Amino acid sequence: MASTLQKLTSVVHQATAKHSATVIFIHGLGDSGHGWAPVGEELGRHLPHVKFIFPNAPDIPVTLNYGMSMPSWYDIKALSTIDTDQDEAGMLKSRQQVMQIIREEVEENNIPASRIVIGGFSQGSVMGLLTGLTAEYKFAGIISLSGYLPLHKKIVNMASDANRKTPIFWGHGDADQVVRYEYGVQSVELLKKNKFDVRFSTYRNLGHGSCPQEIRDLLNFLKETIPVEPKA
């Protein structure tokens, strides 16, 4: 069935030096890869060896949007139950599509999974966590910005051994009224309880978005996890 899965389109910022690492960053609800592409360009100036891939979500009906279609990785029923009432089937379908991008990087572009960082913002961070924690590939790192843990009652059991020690950068604004800050805190606590390597950063007075300090912290995380020369 995987062969019939629609291939995602992506906005790509190519490495400007020898390509030796890749970041796959997944956008949030109603956005597109273009929304985060400028961040890839900014980070790319400091990480010339890194290729940035920003996949575009397909348009699907979203209950939160009165059933009207919009770019979305899975259905969202309501913000008040965003961390509990989750569209598992939609999440798993999108995970398969993201895995196609990962396999292409590994098998066709010869980038080892250990030189790939995956993650995203909001709904995209949920997909990054789901893909990163459950894949058999061992990634260099996982990014979660303003997100929450998917399928929290079963995700720990779904997690592969490959990424149980993979560093996770988690940034969240304490004034977030969309994906509430407490959802992020609870998600991080669950991961830490199960011995995952989460680095949690709180951004004061930040709503549902990013800020220059978070991007600087993200840059430092990428410099650590996918440096110019692969770690010995």
176 is catalytic: yes
174 is catalytic: no
Q: Is 135 exposed, middle or buried (0-12, 13-18, 19+ CB in 10 A)?
A: buried
Other Cβ atoms within 10 Å of 68 Cβ, number? 10
Residue of 122, 125, 144, 146 with catalytic role: 122
32 is catalytic: no
Residue of 13, 27, 49, 208 with catalytic role: 208
Which H helix or E strand runs over 202?
Answer: strand 198-203
C-beta separation of 96 from 2 below 8 A: yes
Q: Name residues whose C-beta falls within 8 Å of residue 63's C-beta, 6 or more positions apart in sequence.
A: 75, 76, 77, 78
Residue of 144, 172, 176, 187 with catalytic role: 176
Q: What share of the chain is helix, strand, coil (3-state, %, to 5)?
A: 40, 20, 40
| Catalytic residue list | 122, 176, 208
